[in-house]
Chain A
Amino acid sequence: MNYKPDESTLMAYLYGELSEKDTIKLEAYFANTLTNWQVCED
C-alpha cells in the first residue's frame, strides 16, 4: 500500500472535516499500519 496521509489529511481527520471517501481510505491505512506493527512485534 503506497498511500501515506499528509499533514492536511490528518488535521482534517482529527477535526472531523475529512470527506467520507478519504476517511475510509485513511482508516484502512491505520488498520493496515497497526496490523503490520502487530506482525513485527510477533
Chain B
Amino acid sequence: MEVSQKTFISMHKNLVSLQEVARFKSWLYTIAVNYCREESQEKESKTLLFVTRPKPGEGEESYRWEESHHRHENPERQLRHSELSDLLQVCLMELSHEQREVVIMKEYEGLKFREIAEALNISENTVKSRMYYGLDGLKKILEQKKITKETIGYEL
C-alpha cells in the first residue's frame, strides 16, 4: 500500500482524536511524515541486503520538481522545466534527510514554519535553522556543480 493511501486511512480512523481543527494540516503531515520515514527505513534495510542503492530520484523520497500546469507550456519550455526539475532533485538528494524534508515542506507544500514544527515535532527555531542551512547547502551544491541560471539557460 502506498504512503498516501496509508495516510488517508489513518486520517479517517483517527480523525475523532483531532482536538483542534485549525491544526489539521500539521496533524495530517505528521501522519504522512511518519509513514514516509517508516517506508524509508524499510527501503534502507532492503538496500543493505541487496547492496544496491536507488538512483537519485527513485523511491519514496524523490520529489518531482515539476508542476502539472507545465504540461500546457510549449515543448522547449516544458523540456527545460523537466531538466531543471531533475537537476534540483539530484541536488536535493545531497542534502541531509532533516534539511531535505524541511525544504520540501516549505518550498513545495507551502507550510508555515509553525506547521512544519508541529508535523515534525521539533521547535520552530530548529525548522528555520534547518531551512537556512538547507538553502545554504543547495547554494553550495549548485556552485560545486557550476550550475547558474546562465548554464541552464533558464530564468530563475
Binding site for B on A (CB under 8 A): 7-8, 10-12, 15, 17
Contact = CB atoms under 8 A, between A and B. Distances in A.
Nearest to A7: B132
A5 to B, nearest CB: 11
B131 interface: yes
Contacts of B131: 11
Contacts of B106: 15
A8 B112 contact: no
B132 A15 contact: no
B132 A17 contact: no
Interface of B: 106, 112-114, 124-125, 128-129, 131-133
A11 B112 contact: no
Contacts of B113: 11-12, 15, 17
Contact of A7 (B112, B114, B129): B129
Nearest to B113: A17
Contacts of A10: 132
5 contacts: A7-B132, A8-B125, A15-B113, A17-B113, A17-B114
Contacts of B129: 7-8, 11
Contacts of A11: 113, 128-129, 131-132
B140 to A, nearest CB: 15
B129 to A, nearest CB: 6
Nearest to A9: B128
Contacts of A17: 112-114
Nearest to A8: B128
Nearest 9 interchain pairs by C-beta = A7-B132, A8-B128, A11-B128, A8-B125, A11-B131, A11-B132, A7-B129, A17-B113, A8-B129
